[in-house]
Amino acid sequence: MSKQLIHQYYNNLDRAIQFGKTINETSIRNHFWVLLNEYAKKQNYEVITEATCLGTKGKKVRPDGIVRNLFGLDIGLWESKDEKTNIDDEISLKIKTGYPLTNILFEDSATVILYQRGEETMRIPMRDADKLHTLITAFISFKNETVYKFETALENFKADIPKIVEALRLQIESTGVTNPSFIQSRDTFLELCKAEINPEITLADVREMMIQHILTSDIFNRIFNDPDFHRHNTIARELEKLIEALFNYSERRNLLVNIEHYYTAISAAAAEVVDHHEKQKFLKVLYENFYKVYNPKAADRLGVVYTPNEIVQFMVESTDYLLHKHFGKTLADKNVDILDPATGTGFFRWAMDRIDTNELIAFVSHNYFIDSRTFDVFNDYPLQKP
């Protein structure tokens, strides 16, 4: 199958050159992207074009493509040139610019060069199908230390988390019988949740919310480098107070010491995700994977933690459209207040970055947990619905 992909690339490249009468980079590089992306998909990766990553000079660089995994972590970079330029001169220029050589593939439709861990490891003619297959496989299969530790930590997390969850449930239930201070805080929090989230919430739901918060608060804090991240949200702030009534900081850390390596791996991986939009995607996928391990049954009942990206974008665009249709205004106009029911990490705010304005008035955080299914789709919105 891989050899068929390579020969298909050769055919497409020849056809593009024959009809276009040019070997200009912009005219032919897309065909190599197609080939590279087919290899990437086999590992559940994707080659993202025109994305940025942190360079060696402390500034962002923008290669022609970045191979990323499901969590948005960079597996490797791809830089395309054409035969009109000297590929070695171009590589030297990119190195001076700050392109990292951890795992990067350079090609000019005639020659393919692979750098890994700072050294050139392979240089082959593009038309050698066997060697091209070997080089691309080595490129796609490469894992830097951060990615390796992160994936290992995820596997360890799956083994450790059931024991931690069970210990937490036992402690919460026991304290809920013997500790008057905790009982009062718990009941107060329950009434708050009924008023702010759902009147059908039970003590069992509160217990699961506590466990979820205990196990994931560090994830938010480390990804966004904000130790007070959850204190900006009313429900989360009150939930934190309830947990403080359950046990002190030292007891909390001792309970979680078995999965400390997991948080450390998250911190290292998140540090490599420099774009705020990508951090949102990283957190979303990470959180969904956490829920699958932690409590998949409750995930269906309590709601999806993150509204899917496509739904978020649709909601923002449809609101903007209907606002203009019925009121002659846009989300960017003055005196248009925006109440976002899901401002936890700013996922809806991310979707509104397309609005070029300084006039957005306010995003008011109201709910901590939300189910995207509670939103109705606007029937008269003309764009294709997700």
Q: For 221-274, what is each residue's pLDDT tens digit?
A: 766 666 665 566 677 778 888 888 888 777 777 777 767 777 778 777 777 776
Q: Which of 6-15, 67-76, 257-266, 362-371 has the lowest mean pLDDT?
A: 362-371
204: enclosing H helix or E strand: helix 203-224
- pLDDT in the model for residue 162: 79
Least confident span in 172-176, 181-185, 299-303: 299-303
User: Does the pLDDT of residue 157 top 70, yes or no?
Assistant: yes
| pLDDT at residue number 276 | 66
Query: What is the C-alpha separation between 82 and 291, in angstroms, rounded?
Result: 46
pLDDT of 152 reads 80
* Residue 99 near residue 55, CB atoms below 8 Å: yes
Task: Give pLDDT, residue 386.
Answer: 35
pLDDT level of residue 111 (50, 70, 90 thresholds): very high
Answer for the pair 98, 90: CB distance below 8 angstroms, yes or no: no
Contact 138, 122 (CB under 8 A): yes
Backbone angles phi, psi at 105, to 5 degrees: -110, 125
User: Does residue 72 contact residue 138 with C-beta atoms inside 8 Å?
Assistant: no
Tell which wins on pLDDT, 73 or 311: 73
Q: How far is CA 384 from CA 271, 306, 313, 317, 368, in A?
A: 36, 22, 12, 11, 29
Cα 307 to Cα 342: distance, rounded to the nearest angstrom:
9
Instruction: Compute the average pLDDT of residues 108-135.
Output: 95
Going by pLDDT thresholds of 50, 70 and 90, the confidence category of residue 355 is low
Q: Sorting pLDDT into bands at 50, 70 and 90, what band is 318?
A: confident
Model's pTM, two decimal places? 0.62
Question: What average pLDDT does the chain have?
Answer: 78
What does the alpha-carbon distance between residue 128 and residue 111 come to, in Å, rounded to a whole number?
A: 10
CATH of 2-142, picked from 3.40.50, 3.90.1570, 3.20.20, 1.10.12, is 3.90.1570
304 falls in which pLDDT band (50, 70, 90)? very low
pLDDT by residue (tens digit) across 361-383? Answer: 333 333 333 333 233 323 333 33
Report d(CA 282, CA 269) in Å as an integer.
9
d(CA 171, CA 168): 5
Residue ranges per structural domain of the chain:
2-142, 146-298, 309-374
Least confident of 49-63, 298-312, 319-333: 298-312
Percent of the chain with pLDDT over 90: 30
Q: Which of 3-17, 111-125, 302-316 has the lowest mean pLDDT?
A: 302-316
